[in-house]
Structure 1
Amino acid sequence: MRVVHEPADGDETRTLATDIQMAEGVLAKVRGLRFRRSLPDDYALVFPFGHAGRRDIDMLFVRTSIDVLWISDNRVQQVKTLRPWIGFGLARADCVIELPPGVADGVEAGDRVLVESEDS
């Protein structure tokens, strides 16, 4: 699997992450990246939801900054870098993706971000 960024302005498509972890259960979604000291450069934690809704991300017990993408229908709704322990973000989304800090540089609202399987 990989997370792919397709800019709305037609610039070149790029891969944001290839080491993908899915947070599908309730406990996995609550835990998120809590208690981790660092993240691999090509890592993404993907939170898939069955429908769009208000999705919040807090940084309590998260020890490193992260970039967060809120996605709805494969379109970026919001991009935010959250600081350890005190960061908070909220946006409407059907999928949230957490990445190492700086990975989402250049990703903007309206761009497409897709989670692709190996055979896509």
Structure 2
Amino acid sequence: MRLVHRPDRDSAATDERTLASDVDVARSRLAQARGLMFRRSVPDDYALVFPFGEAETRWLHMLFVPFAIDAVWLVDEEVTRVKRLAPFVGLARGKADAVVELPAGVADGVTVGDELRLRE
């Protein structure tokens, strides 16, 4: 599975770029609560996806995460917010039915209104 970025939801599929080819999906409440905590690092091509049932305000924290990440909030695969979170002290929220965590710098160029999608 890979995570792809399309700069504009209406652009052609050829405009896609792969953000991550190593993707984990945190489906259980335990996996979602743990997130990236206690990991020392993640590979450059890694993404952790948190799927939720409906769009609500979703909080992210960096407690026990010793490296910066890029966080992307999505509603129906459309980006609603992008934020770089600092190690240990980062905190942010956004409306989402899914949230994606990526290594810092990977989401450079991803903006509100873009599309992120999982592909097999």
Between the aligned partners of 1:107 and 1:76, the Cα distance in structure 2 is 8
Aligned pair 1:67/2:74, yes or no? no
1:42 corresponding residue in structure 2: 45
Aligned pair 1:6/2:9, yes or no? no
Aligned pair 1:56/2:59, yes or no? yes
1:29 corresponding residue in structure 2: 32
Q: CA RMSD in A?
A: 1.2
Between the aligned partners of 1:78 and 1:115, the Cα distance in structure 2 is 18
TM-score by length of 1: 0.94
Aligned pair 1:96/2:99, yes or no? yes
Between the aligned partners of 2:92 and 2:4, the Cα distance in structure 1 is 22
Structure 1 gap segments, 5+ residues each: none
Name the count of aligned residue pairs. 117
Shift of 1:76: 0.1
Q: Structure 1 vs Structure 2: percent identity of aligned residues?
A: 54
SS in 1 for 2:30: helix
SS in 2 for 1:103: coil
TM-score by length of 2: 0.94
Which runs of 4 or more aligned residues in structure 1 lie more than 6 Å from their structure 2 counterparts after TM superposition?
none
Between the aligned partners of 2:65 and 2:74, the Cα distance in structure 1 is 21
SS in 2 for 1:113: strand
Structure 2 gap segments, 5+ residues each: none
Between the aligned partners of 1:38 and 1:51, the Cα distance in structure 2 is 30
